Structure 1
Amino acid sequence: MSNKVITFGEIMLRLATPGYERFAQAKEFTATYGGGEANVAVSLANYGIDASFVTRLPKNDIARSCEMDLKKYGVNTEHIVYGGDRLGIYFLETGAVSRGSKVVYDRAHSAISQIEKGMIDWDKVFEGANWFHWTGITPAISQGAADVCLEAIKAANERGITVSCDLNYRKNLWKYGKTANEVMPELAAGTDVILGNEEDAAMVLGIHPEGVDVTGGHVEADAYLSVSQQIMKQFPRCKKVITTLRGSINANHNSWSGVLYDGKELFKANNTYQITHIVDRVGGGDSFMGGLIYGLLTWPNDDQKALNFAVAASCLKHTIYGDYNQVTVEEVEKLMDGDASGRVAR
């Protein structure tokens, strides 16, 4: 059976200051598009997977441009529904060295924030699908978005479709009267594969790593075993817990790796990459998730290889401008095999 992956969430217009300019300096912004679940769909489409992105868009030229952008990368957009008045926007100021990046959201009253149960025909969307992906960003947008996300998870569960989630805690989004801790556990309960770092687990599920200091740029993989075990105990459906390990030396230099726990064994990625000249780290976690889903679908009995692929794929994303990870399977496998030379291919 060929693989078909569905992702659901919000896509936005991204307006970024040129280079490393601050908002107050910028005279113009570079326009691209991005959003957690859309970024995952683009990664998978680049790897040759049949990937569909589901969202709600307004009927206007900006939204049409956004949909055309997704199609350009091979993402199926046939299940997008239309309504509402606007596409959400986010502004990005890229940090450098000791100055971190900043994001300002302008997404209130976006088309998807006003979505309601029944607007999406999940029977039709899930026809032939074997994987569904969502993130913690979607239920943070509005009560309606949270309701539809749960509707989708339940529909996927009924059909035996594998469900994955990136917990993705965004404190600036939870503003409609409920906290992540109140909403997310019910959604996580229907999820088979959970990705999240130590902050996500703490803020979303109330689970804390034991005996680890994550503030000094060094992260110890073994310390996350307790987090993974707690997640599996709290959510018995969950079969795999994955943690990205990012050490932030500064805004331009991160170390990058990951671990995967399958309920019995904690797999550590073969490589910890030193990303010394970050081009764009936005979408780094989504590129990891896209690589992980591809890996788990392609090598279902080799969690180590799937994890190695995800880490290498997301390492490469840090070299690419924009939210999307525009790399091929061959490029990821080349890095997996140890070729990090960056030599000209000709």
Structure 2
Amino acid sequence: MGKVLNFGELLLRICPDPAGDWLKENSLPFFVGGAELNVATALSLWGIPSAYMTSLPKNLLTDQVVAYVNDLGIDTSSIQYQGDRIGLYYLHKGKDLKNAGVIYDRANSSFATLKKGVIDWDKAFKDVSWFHFSAICPALSQATAELCEEALKEASSRNITISIDLNYREKLWKYGKEPIEIMPELVKYCDVVMGNVWAAEKMLGIPVAENLSVKADKSAYLEQAEQSSKMIKEKFIKCKAVANTFRFDHLQGVKYYSTLFTANKLFVSKQYYAPKILDKVGSGDCYMAGLIYGFSLKKEPEEVVDFATAAGFSKLFIASDATTLKPEEIKERVEKYEN
């Protein structure tokens, strides 16, 4: 089995408390993350050869961050060093990246200014069998969108399996293009597509039944997942598998399950419920890592979707951007939440 190369922007997440006590204490908690790094971290922890490509400025802070990533067992040899700054974002503890309060500070970061035509893809893709990126990358700038397309063409020409997480971040799409203008041209290279039915509608033009979001009947969501998955596979003929997550946040707690459509069949995961969670950031990344883990080990589809769902749900109880749990710990952690 070759390496999984994860491509995206490394970020520092700064976590001010809602009450503003950080001002009195002169202290701000932070985490090293970024969607693709979170995937790389999980895969390395789970014994899958994992590599990471991003772009960072060459300075002392970068040296410390890269050393930290190396200590996680992740191959950092493909990191590009150029530009002037590491991307940041600010988010209160316990909130997720869809929250209106998220503040991005990523303009003109080293990754956002990395252009096509400078990366040695022969070197980057050496011993790589899987390439993963997310819809966050092409949201940053036109240059980054073009770089993603270059990477996908290079990976595809080498018969490398390609996956994408359709994570939609409205606040990032600010350079004059809508997702629907960019994403279909990138997804056509992908073998595995993960996200949810609403992201597929926004980014790929895959329609969702009117008022689906207010329905309480799980069967309606499963029916939509199957329909959306079939349409994605028809529209993007390279696609072999489509996964959709369903996380419903209520005052009473969080309900979580997912689907995987492959081999012309919809597989539905176990369902979990928790009255209280700790941190929403990185749950989807952990789920994506679970998919790659299952497919890499050639697990049966039902095993793949069940493990990915358990992994994503278990991340809701971990106060960091990436999981710290091994596969056997994940199964033990979520068992009592089966609903």
Compute the TM-score of the two structures, normalised by the length of structure 1.
0.90
The number of equivalent residue pairs is: 330
CA distance in 2, matches of 1:218, 1:56: 44
Give the secondary-structure state (helix, strand or coil) at the position aligned to 1:202.
helix
Identity of aligned residues (%): 37
Equivalent position amino acid for 2:48 in 1: I
Question: What whole-Å deviation, never above 9, does each CA across 1:8-39 have from its counterpart, x for those lacking one?
Answer: 01011110024xx24x4542320211111111
Alignment of 1:246 onto 2:244? no
> Which segments of 5 or more consecutive residues in structure 2 lack a partner in the other structure?
none
Query: Which structure 2 residues correspond to residues 134-149 of structure 1 after superposition, within 5 A?
Result: 134-149=133-148
1:41-77 deviation digits (Å, cap 9, x = unpaired): 0010010111001010001222222212212221111
Match of 1:289 in 2: 288
- Residues 217 and 60 (structure 1 numbering): CA distance in 2 closer, same or farther, change over 3 Å? farther
Secondary structure of residue in 1 paired with 2:30: strand
What is the root-mean-square deviation in Å for CA atoms of aligned residues? 2.0
- Name the SS for the 2:91 alignment partner: strand
SS at structure 2 position matched to 1:117: coil
- What is the CA-CA distance between 1:95 and the residue it aligns to? 5.1
The answer on 1:228 being equivalent to 2:229 is: yes
| Equivalences for residues 9-28 of structure 1 within 5 A | 9-18=8-17, 21-22=18-19, 24-27=20-23, 28=27
> Greater helix percent: which structure?
2
Match of 2:315 in 1: 317
1:211, distance to aligned residue in structure 2 (A): 6.1
In structure 2, the residue corresponding to 1:133 is in which secondary structure?
A: strand
Show the counterpart of 1:170. 169
Asked if 2 retains the 8 angstrom alpha-carbon contact of 1:257 and 1:273, the reply is yes
CA contact (8 A) 1:217 1:248 kept: no
Kindly indicate whether the alpha-carbon contact (under 8 Å) linking 2:272 and 2:337 is maintained by their aligned counterparts in 1: no
Hey, what's the Cα distance between the residues in 1 that align with 2:230 and 2:150?
27
SS in 2 for 1:157: helix
1:255 matched to 2:242: no
TM-score, normalization: structure 2? 0.92
Q: Distance in 2 between matches of 1:223 and 1:199?
A: 10
**Rounded Cα–Cα distance in structure 2 between residues aligned with 1:101 and 1:147:** 28
In the alignment, residue 175 of structure 2 is paired with which amino acid? Y
Residues 1:275 and 1:3: Cα distance change in structure 2 (over 3 Å) = farther
| Amino acid of the structure 2 residue aligned with 1:158 | S
Measure the CA separation in 2 of the matches of 1:218 and 1:88.
40
Deviation per residue, 1:245-288 (Å, 9 max, x gap)? 111114x821111000115100000x111132211010110000
Unaligned runs of 5+ in 1: 342-346
What is the aligned partner in structure 1 of residue 123 from structure 2? 124
Change (3 A) 1:113 1:210: same
